[in-house]
A and B are shown apart, each in its own frame.
Chain A
Amino acid sequence: DGGITQSPKYLFRKEGQNVTLSCEQNLNHDAMYWYRQDPGQGLRLIYYSQIVNDFQKGDIAEGYSVSREKKESFPLTVTSAQKNPTAFYLCASTPKAADYGYTFGSGTRLTVV
């Protein structure tokens, strides 16, 4: 079955440490997105990529980095510069940019310890 796989499901980060969240899709979608979800705040866009080797900052990109070397993969690195990284991170994809059919992964819960 096609879908988006995010791993790990739970991740713990020490202060000052960089961590990478994995997002893989087998839907042959061109566009991929990373969102952060905090209680009561809904979804906020971190980064998005419309095509391989290209990505743009979203509304809250500071302290995060991404790469898009393969169509299927869009990993997100949470760097030590992100001061409040504890959140639920969601990866999503659409068949092409400016499409409306979002498919979401099951999310990664990141906690700073």
Chain B
Amino acid sequence: QKEVEQDPGPLSVPEGAIVSLNCTYSNSAFQYFMWYRQYSRKGPELLMYTYSSGNKEDGRFTAQVDKSSKYISLFIRDSQPSDSATYLCFLTDSWGKLQFGAGTQVVVTP
């Protein structure tokens, strides 16, 4: 079993809809949780990071962490065609061990 599971998609939504992405993990040592966005043939870019359980909001993006369930989510409100990309979750523990999901491809159709 992989330490981090992420549905590869593709996830297709109409413009303006809410995009809901998630990752599950098995190692309770993970403490930092990040979401990266990657456009085709580009490097990933950091969208959001959070340390504690709960919600963190930044514009149209909301990151949610539930450590008790080992479940993290990213919500994108009012989705735009420019949000079409692959979204990866990154998790690290206090020792710097990094694990990431395989990425979910999102397609926002006009």
Q: List B residues 92-108 near A (Cβ within 8 Å).
A: 92, 94-96, 98, 100-103
A46 CB, nearest partner CB in chain B, Å: 13
Contact B96 A98 (CB under 8 A): yes
Q: List B residues 15-34 near A (Cβ within 8 Å).
A: 32, 34
Contact B41 A90 (CB under 8 A): no
Contact B92 A100 (CB under 8 A): yes
Looking across the interface, which residue of chain B has its beta carbon closest to that of A3? Answer: B43
| Nearest 5 pairs of A and B residues by beta carbon | A98-B96, A104-B43, A42-B102, A100-B32, A106-B43
Known pairs A42-B102, A43-B100; A102 contacts B46 (CB<8 A): yes
Of A41, A97, A101, A107, which is within 8 A of B43 by CB? A107
Report 26 cross-chain contacts, Cβ distance below 8 Å, ordered by A residue.
A4-B43, A40-B102, A41-B102, A42-B100, A42-B102, A43-B88, A45-B98, A92-B43, A97-B96, A98-B94, A99-B96, A100-B32, A100-B34, A100-B49, A100-B90, A100-B92, A101-B46, A102-B34, A102-B46, A104-B43, A105-B43, A106-B42, A106-B43, A107-B42, A107-B43, A109-B41
A1 to B32, CA, bound (A): 26
Contact B49 A40 (CB under 8 A): no
A106 to B94, CA, bound (A): 27
Query: Does A55 sit at the interface, judged by CB under 8 A?
Result: no
Query: Does B81 sit at the interface, judged by CB under 8 A?
Result: no
A3 to B90, CA, bound (A): 20
B102 CB, nearest partner CB in chain A, Å: 4
A108 CB, nearest partner CB in chain B, Å: 10
Interface size range on B against A: 20 to 34
Contact A88 B100 (CB under 8 A): no
Chain A residue contacts of B103, Cβ below 8 A = 42
- Residue from B41, B46, B98 whose CB has the most chain A CB atoms within 10 Å: B98
Known pairs A40-B8, A90-B43; A101 contacts B96 (CB<8 A): no
A101 to B36, CA, bound (A): 11
